[in-house]
Amino acid sequence: MTVPYWRLSAFYFAYFAYVGAAAPYFSLYLASLDLAAAQIGVLLSLGSLMRVIGPNFWGWVADRTQRRARIIAITLALGGACFAGFFFVHTFWGLFALLLATGFFTSACMPLAESMTLTHLRGAVSGYGSIRLWGSVGFVITVTLVGYALDVLPVASLLWMVLATYALSWACALVVPDAPAGVSHAESEPVRDILRRPEVAALLGACFLMSLAHGPQYAFYSIYLVDHHYSKAAVGWMWSLGVIAEIIVFLLMPALMRRNSLSAILRVCFAAAAVRFLMIGWGVESAPVLIAAQLLHGLTFGAYHAAAVTAIHRWFQGAHQVRGQAIYLSVSFGAGGVLGSALSGLGWDSIGPAWTFSAAACSAVAGFALLIWKVRPAHI
């Protein structure tokens, strides 16, 4: 069966166009509602909370129905309907409920899309980056255009922009062909036994710490720059620089994976994350420092995510593929994201932004130590 390269790439493009419109700027929208930093941190953590619960539920549904593409389309439609509620709801608890509902449905997309893409590739996982990079392209385009738009339009207009990208994601999901999960010897090994392997548990723990480290970045980076008198267009370009670096890394990943073990790639990524967050925390007044820090995103997300997804795919075979990706996303972007956003909201007002980013760097160092301790090149 031929890999549906362009249809998969179009879905990644559209979905991450949605992420590019929402993730960098939604905190600015919440700030415009006069919410406190702690409240913003809690609200932004809810999407991550749903990534703890949602992927496992939707993975369970996909395992039984073998209809991954259909589930993605249905959940995107329901998530978009929930997002439309933001036009009418402005209270903290109303926003809380809407973000829970939106996050629950949207959480289905990535574990199902990742497992479906890797199944289409039929073991040629080095080709993952060339498909996934189109998601980065979609992110760059929207994060840049939305940044310019918000310099001239009210911040509330962000809701229309996000909703438009939601609709585009849904339309692209409708044309993605499904790929039934394969059958392999790994199905005889229960998921709980795979999770008990020291290297698997250690990698998942490190992924949790990596997402925890990114908490201040995803929740408050845009606010941090605007507070230091950067324009919203400049904010958009800073986000774009990071994702451009991510695109370059995705293109290089096949060569990197041939020459280096996944464990070596991951160690470099965690070390880069520690350096990056210290640079952001203490170098916000210097545009060159921020630019250099954003370029490290190619490692702290691009190479890190590609290596982690590939490792999980190798460990969770056959019918366990969706469950494996769901567990990875739940532990990292879910649990790690929840705690990262919530703690950064508390730290922002108590210890200040610079020390909050320093704490994020410490989390990355802890993840690096965990990899050194338990994850050997022979494991992945």
Per-residue pLDDT tens over the stretch 207-252: 999 999 999 998 899 999 999 999 999 999 999 999 899 889 988 8
- Per-residue pLDDT for 95 more than 60? yes
- Record the tokens describing residue 296, joined without a space: 């490290």
Per-residue pLDDT tens over the stretch 108-138: 888 788 878 878 887 666 677 788 889 989 9
Read off the DSSP letter of residue 177: P
Residue labelled with tokens 């199944």: 119
Neighbours of 249 (CB within 10 A): 24
Segment 14-37 mean pLDDT: 92
CA distance linking residue 80 with residue 170, whole number of Å: 9
CA distance linking residue 280 with residue 356, whole number of Å: 10
Per-residue pLDDT tens over the stretch 290-340: 999 999 999 999 999 989 988 988 888 766 767 787 888 889 988 898 899
- Per-residue pLDDT for 181 more than 60? no
Q: Given this model, what pLDDT does residue 319 score?
A: 63
Least Cα distance to 219 among 279, 165, 280 occurs for 280
Q: Given this model, what pLDDT does residue 185 score?
A: 46
Per-residue pLDDT tens over the stretch 141-173: 998 999 899 999 999 999 999 999 999 999 999
Q: Walk me through the domains of the chain, giving residue ranges and CATH numbers.
A: 5-178+189-374 (1.20.1250.20)
Residue environment code for 54-74, b if the CB has 16+ CB neighbours within 10 A, otherwise e = bbbebbebbbeeeebbbbbbe
Least Cα distance to 296 among 336, 241, 256, 257 occurs for 241
User: Is the four-CA dihedral 57, 13, 128, 136 of positive or negative sign?
Assistant: negative
Q: Is 318 exposed, middle or buried (0-12, 13-18, 19+ CB in 10 A)?
A: middle
pTM comes to: 0.78
Amino acid at 305: H
User: Is the four-CA dihedral 325, 18, 215, 125 of positive or negative sign?
Assistant: positive
Q: Given this model, what pLDDT does residue 182 score?
A: 53
Of residues 127 and 53, more confidently modeled: 53
Question: In this prediction, what percent of the chain has a pLDDT beyond 70?
Answer: 94
